[in-house]
Amino acid sequence: MSWLRLEATAFHDRAIRRTGSAGRRAFIAALMLTKERDWRRDERSGWLPETEFDAEEVALHWGEEDTPETVAAYTKAIAELSAPGGPLERVDGGFWVVGWSRYQPDPTALARKRKERSSTTRGDVTDGHAAKRDKATASLIDKADTNGNPSR
């Protein structure tokens, strides 16, 4: 299962507000479909192909019948959401969700970062701290007596 982060202030965005309730539903559907696609393909892109996002898909996503009125409302909402300055950027073949990586962080990033740190240093000490620690340890060893006790 993949979780979707939705910022509490997302609907304060004018580009989303001006689209009305159909636009809000279309925007949430776009986020959910993008997140599901990224999770399924193990990607972190924020890309949504137009073959996977249209008015009929939004209606289906919300359990609505794709009547001509519903399709027209969602078609208009998608056009407004992908207008310049909107939360979706329309390009040939689909949509980019603007700010995707900021709002949907890579869930594997922390694990990768921990693995990288543990392979390059001892424990959870970062490179900068390890160098300072090693220099300080070397200084203490130089000042130690023959029994390994620090000098006073």
Euclidean distance between CA atoms 93 and 4, whole angstroms:
24
pLDDT number for residue 39: 73
What is the three-class DSSP state of 120?
helix
Query: Which whole number is the average pLDDT over 98-115?
Result: 75
Query: What six digits make up the tokens of 115?
Result: 């693995």
pLDDT confidence tier of residue 117, bands split at 50, 70 and 90: confident
Query: Which whole number is the average pLDDT over 75-87?
Result: 95
Query: What six digits make up the tokens of 114?
Result: 């921990």
pLDDT confidence tier of residue 91, bands split at 50, 70 and 90: very high
Mean pLDDT, the chain, integer: 79
CB-count exposure of residue 63 (10 Å: 0-12, 13-18, 19+): exposed
Euclidean distance between CA atoms 1 and 87, whole angstroms:
25
Query: Which whole number is the average pLDDT over 85-108?
Result: 86
**Is residue 88 a contact partner of residue 30, using CB atoms and an 8 Å limit?**
yes
**Is residue 11 a contact partner of residue 27, using CB atoms and an 8 Å limit?**
no
pLDDT number for residue 38: 78
83 CB-near residues (< 8 Å, 6+ apart): 15
pLDDT number for residue 13: 83
Residue 34 confidence (pLDDT) above 80: yes
């776009």: which residue's tokens? 30
pLDDT number for residue 151: 46
Percent of the chain with pLDDT over 90: 41
